[in-house]
Amino acid sequence: MNAGLDRLRNIKFTFTRYFGRSIVIILLSALISGCDWGPREKEIARPGFHGSTHAEDTGLYFDLHRVKLKEILPTDSYVYLKVTEGNKDFWIAARPSDYEVDSFYYYQEALLKKDFESKQLNKAFDSIYLVTKLVPELHHLGSENTARPPD
C-alpha cells in the first residue's frame, strides 16, 4: 500500500513539475501580450480643426478651440449649440448660459459622443461634443490680458 501511495505522489509531483510550469508560462505570456504598451494619446488631424490631442480610448479632446455660434437649442439641463470652426459645422452641448448667435466662444475639453439622442429635444445627433466649459471670446481675451505683466 505504501508503494502505491509513493507512486501516486511521484505522478502528482511529476505532473505538477512539468505542467504547472507550463501553465504559469502560458498565463504570463497571455498577460504580457494582452497589454497595450503603446501611447495612450495620439495626434489626429480632422478637417476644420488645427489637430487635436485625443485620448484614444475615451473620445476626449484637450486642445483649445475657437468656434462661432450659429444656432441655439436650449433645454432644462443643457444648451445644444451648432457651431463653426474653420469650415466645419458641428454640434456641442454645454451648460446653460447667455449665449449669442454670431459670437465667438472658446472651449478646451470635450467628450465626443456618437449617435447621441436628446430626449428633451426629441432629436438625434450623429456626433456631438460635450463641452466642459464654453467661454465667450471677450472673457477669454480679458483673462489673457490681465495675466500679462505691465509693459
Residue 137 is predicted with a pLDDT of 87
Q: Which three cell numbers stand for residue 150?
A: 505691465
Low-confidence spans in the chain with pLDDT less than 70: 1-61, 139-151
Amino acid at 122: N
The pLDDT of residue 29:
61
pTM of the model: 0.55
Query: CB-based burial of residue 82 (10 Å sphere; 0-12 exposed, 13-18 middle, 19+ buried)?
Result: middle
Beta bridge partners of 107: 65
- pLDDT tens for residues 11-43? 655 655 555 666 656 655 655 555 554 444 333
Q: Which helix (H) or strand (E) holds 91?
A: strand 88-94
pLDDT for residue 44: 38
Close Cβ partners of 97 (under 8 Å, ≥ 6 residues apart): 79, 134
